[in-house]
Amino acid sequence: MSKPEWNKKIKNHLIDQTESITELKESTWQNIDKELFPTVKKKKRRRRTKQVIVSIAGAAMIMLFIMFSSNEQGLAMMQSIREIFVEEKKQIVELEGNKEVRDVHLNKNYQLEYVLYVDESYYKVIEQENSDLILPKMEFEDIDVPEISMEIMQHTDISKDELIDEVITEITDSGLTINQEEEVMYPLESLVIKGVGNTEEYANPGDTPIHRYYIKDTGSGQLFLIKQVYFLTAAEGHGVRLNSMLETFEVISNN
């Protein structure tokens, strides 16, 4: 064999050996990678971590369920939490023994820091400078109908006793007689003061005005005053509907 042929053979052999070593190197590193970072073990670890997280979350949910479902108030609280901030929901209104299912819509006032669900098929909300005024949607142009309204106001620069005095003065100045002043839980936890007119002063006794005030103390120097105005004939209609909407009243915070 000539020297050039021998050199060529050696060169080819070295190339073949290099390729074999490269393949062995790749195979070796693949095996090492599988040992150090096995795909199956990775999945198992992730699954185990996920299972731990799910288990903790599940345990927390069970604890919350036990805590909240131990009494009726707890169940009501859970239901309330689920319904917070939904734009629309159903509300049952009972009028003279008959139950109606109404669609109510969320009304948010961040300036006054409250939310309230409004039956927009019956009422509209008018935003004023320092309050919200809720009025019947239907207007009677040719009929003289007594006022029906609900106004929501916020006070931060007055004490509760001072606000009570102002309400009492406003009622008496309107010629009404106070027939209710007490702490109530419905439609919201508050002090209610109600004034009623003298039926003998009206040609139609059903037009006798009723002014009902709710004073809600948030306990943080913030007071809400809700004033309802309606008349005797509307007591079982608008009077009930206004309170049903007020039942959904919630104080919120911008902080």
DSSP states along the chain: --HHHHHHHHHHHHHHHHHHHHHHHHHHHHHHHHHHS-HHHHHHHHHHHHHHHHHHHHHHHHHHHHHHHTSHHHHHHHHHHHHTT-SEEEEEEEETTEEEEEEEEEEEETTTTEEEEE-TTTEEEEE-SSEEEEEES---SSS-----EEEEEEESSS-HHHHHHHHHHHHHHTT-EEEEEEEE-SSSSEEEEEEE--GGGSSSGGG-EEEEEEEEE-SSS-EEEEEEEEEGGGTTTHHHHHHHHHTT-EE----
Instruction: Report the distance separating Cα 103 and Cα 98, nearest Å.
Output: 16
For residue 122, name the pLDDT band (cuts at 50, 70, 90).
very high
Residues 153-166 have a mean pLDDT of 97
Do 154 and 47 lie in one domain? The reply is no
Structure tokens at 74: 């707890």
Residue 199, phi then psi, degrees to nearest 5: -60, -25
| Tens-digit pLDDT profile for residues 57-109 | 444 444 444 454 455 554 554 454 445 669 999 999 999 889 999 999 999 99
Judgement on whether residues 23 and 119 belong to the same structural domain of the protein: no
Residue 123 within a domain:
yes
Q: Do the beta carbons of residue 178 and residue 195 sit within 8 Å?
A: yes
Residue 27 has pLDDT above 80, yes or no: no
Q: Indicate if 56 and 124 belong to the same structural domain.
A: no
Mean pLDDT, to the nearest integer, of 104-116? 95
pLDDT of residue 147: 95
- Whether residues 141 and 163 share a domain: the answer is yes
Between 1-15, 31-45, 53-67, the lowest mean confidence (pLDDT) is in 31-45
The predicted structure's pLDDT at residue 153: 98
Rounded to an integer, the average pLDDT of 183-205 is 96
Summarize the confidence of residues 236-249 as an average pLDDT: 97
pLDDT at 255: 56
The verdict on pTM exceeding 0.75 is: no
Domain end among 76, 96, 111: 76
| 34 and 105 assigned to the same domain | no
pLDDT for the residue numbered 97: 87
Report pLDDT for 65.
46
Average pLDDT, the chain: 79
**Judgement on whether residues 127 and 229 belong to the same structural domain of the protein:** yes
Predicted confidence band of residue 26 (pLDDT cuts 50, 70, 90): low
Shared-domain flag, residues 71 and 189: no
High-pLDDT (> 70) share of the chain, %: 66
User: Does residue 81 sit within a domain?
Assistant: no
The structural domain count of the chain equals 2
Residue at 149 is within a domain:
yes
The answer to whether 240 touches 94, Cβ cutoff 8 Å, is: yes
Dist CA 54 CA 56 (whole Å): 5
pLDDT, position 96: 85
Among 53, 76, 99, identify where a domain stops.
76
CATH of the domain at 178: 3.40.1000.10
Q: What is the mean pLDDT of residues 184-204?
A: 96
When pLDDT is averaged across residues 183-200 and rounded to a whole number, the result is 97
Mean pLDDT over residues 104-128, rounded?
A: 96
Q: Examine the domain organization and report whether 145 and 65 are in the same domain.
A: no
Query: Which of 172, 167, 141 minimizes the C-alpha distance to 223?
Result: 167
| Pair 59, 97 in one domain | no
pLDDT above 50: residue 119:
yes
Residue 83 lies in a domain: no
* Domain annotation covers residue 99: yes
> Tokens 């003298």, residue?
198
Domain that holds residue 56: 3-76
Say if residue 196 is in the same domain as residue 109: yes
Section 174-185 average pLDDT: 97
Percent of the chain with pLDDT over 90: 60
pLDDT at residue 139, rounded to an integer = 81
End residue of a domain, out of 54, 76, 98: 76
Residues 133, 31, single domain; the answer is no
